[in-house]
Structure 1
Amino acid sequence: MLASETPLASPSHNSDPIDRLIAAHQPGIGLARAFYTDPDIYERDLDRVFRRHWHCIAHESVIPNPNDFELFKMATEQVILTRDAQGEIHALLNICRHRGAEVCTQHKGNAKAFVCPYHAWTYGNDGRLKAARLMPKDFKREDHGLRRLHVRVVAGLVFISFADDPLDFSEVERLLRATCGQYGWDQAKVAHRETYPVDANWKLAVENYVECYHCGPAHPEYSQTHALEQPLERIAELNAAMEARTCALGIEVGQADAWQTSRAGREAIHAFRYALYDGVSTGSEDGKPLAPLMGRFSAFDGGVTSVHLGGTTFLVAYPDHGMIYRFVPTGPQACEMELIWLVNGQAEAGRDYDFDRLTWLWTVTTAEDKTIIEHTSRGVRSKYFVPGPIAPMEQNELRYINWYLDEISRP
């Protein structure tokens, strides 16, 4: 159920200012200024969106070996992603169970244990407390391990949830296997990662990502090869030819629209496909192949698979490489966009792909997006800003706004 389908409380019967603002929202119009600037709304975002939903934190190839770890900062939290000696992946909050000090002080490495620098409590890389010096005899170490987050690993992607009772992930898992699984992401590796700090509220960054109304004027490089900025009739024509090529390869890439609020206890996901222009193989500057084919693809089908998941995770799959887009709030008017490039796990830079060619398109596009988002953020901060109507080509943004309002309207 979307927010537009849900009656909101009358402002006159609700004393909470955020709830009154939600109730006052006009359908088909963008969000009011306060949603991008107010610290109290930002805190509610963290509680009701960020801590409720699943987030892709990494591709599992970033910790390939037993005892590897990497530290991730997400909003106010720090998460230690580890692979224990048996190969199992864990996500642990970087908070000592004694006085709260950070037990992991390095960005990444290989360690069987983490020793708190304050009082030397020692934790295994599975989170269990192994030693707590000079504690009384009745102290139970098993009750004081690092807090573990829920973890799912699907098609090589590592997802975490901060919720005590996380949203059902079964539909997401099925659809990821039908999409990213067909592209061989289980056997992929990270070719590059880049983080872009953005001087804007996280929702401005996500809203920009989900719509292509701006692609034509703002992304001439992207628009030379991708047909998503075309009218719907032209997209349908190109998509039909793309699907015929995909089926001829003996591949059926999943598509499904399970974009839903968390009212039913399930995570939201939407997977769809769209065509590149005729003669274009992949997302490159000249449309020519960039890297070895992945997964079940024995040839290029001239298409792209896109996945929107849980509000902060977005995936793009080409036959020869993949992209993970992560949106991480860092403050009421600040966020980060992390891009992760995936290639065939056997591919080597300089031999099988050229690094600069591989990263060119999304580096250029994201730099343009950063500029656009920050221009918008400065305008939205004006006390004279009034949101305007959502254009037909911004239908995904409209849906995202409705979804977001529903999420923050409920405890």
Structure 2
Amino acid sequence: MAKPLLQYNKLKYNNPKQKSKRPIPVTEIISMAVETLWSNKLRTGLTMLGVIIGIASVIAITSVGQGVQKGTEQQIQALGPDVLSVFSGSARSGNIRQGTGSSSTLTWDDAKAIAEQAPSAQIVSAYLQRNAQVVYEGQNNSTPVFGTDLNYPVVREIQIQNGRYFNQEELDTSSLVAVIGPTIESNLFNRSDPLGKRIRIRGEAYEVIGVTESKGSQGGMDRDEVVFIPLTTMSARLVGNNALSGVSVNAILIKAGEQLDAVQFQVTNLLRLRHNIYPPQEDDFRITNQADIISTFTNIVGLFTVMIVAIAGISLVVGGIGIANIMLVSVVERTREIGIRKAVGATNSAILNQFLTEAIVISTLGGGIGIGSGILIAFGAANIFKFPFVISLLSVIAGLGLSLSVGLVAGVIPARNAAKLDPITALRSD
């Protein structure tokens, strides 16, 4: 107990008459608090643990939530936030409904009718999709093959980095031409120029006429591992004309600009008329709105983040209770020290400030370590799961504020108990 006594001797509290004239400098209070905490490193570390876990959880979860949200928004933006997707309906087998697109209810003629009769629709495209083995000189790649019209690269904002997309004549004549993605180029051609070479799709040779620019990944799918061929070729040679009339398609894409609701209304009514659907019959197609997907996902991520932050808040409360308990134990352990300090001139406010500062230092250090840990966790998660790394300044400021608040609240009662101790009683304690 000699060490604290020497500390207060340095503050010149030997004369009780001076105690109201000379307040303790803040720097000396902080220095003494740090020295006291450092002399009990294990206890201090365990006390900070709850705050560290709570703050790290708040920072990490907030960052991960914002990163996932931003990544998803970027992916949906890449598909076109102003694009409506019309999918064919689901087939039924007895009372079992299969997935969307399992029934051939949409045709290329539907897409052409939408382009002509829906005033708000800007650009309309239709496509067919199947997985197929793409082969070149012994190299084999299983990949999605898209049969598209000429508007598809415009709606999906696909750029050509080498060569060209197929033209109207090749679409009309069902030509055996193909445009490949960068991943297919790398896997099959090993960095050699693919233009003019022939790949085999289900036994037939297709001339490569173009390579698209990279689009990256989306939802675990490599958007560069694709092959595009004319829709007519796809329908006639890979799928077969399985619609009652015309060319069957899996989906119709509609670029709508800012009139998403108007386009959706017009397309819904037009397709119902074309397919002879009247109430109470169900639609044999499904329309999805990218803007609605973004809004729904944002709400889900927001609710999830709030839930996790609330759980982290419970951890902070537990950490605060831990600080309060340790500080109360510290008051009991240092009762005689408090008595000596008061005997040499320490005021109640000096004792109060000393213990309160110790609690705030513990929580602030814990908060700082927690913020650093949370940022590292968020950075690691962003790199592992491939989403944008986002750190909100607001969440860092909130973390520091929370840690300070926890220390202040948790330290008040123990500090007041220490300040109210009677010096004579304190000196008699063992």
Q: TM-score, normalised by structure 2?
A: 0.20
Q: Per chain length, whose mean CA-contact separation is higher, i.e. which structure has more relative contact order (CA < 8 Å, sep 6+)?
A: 2
Q: TM-score, normalised by structure 1?
A: 0.21
As a proportion of its length, which structure holds more strand? 1
As a proportion of its length, which structure holds more helix? 2
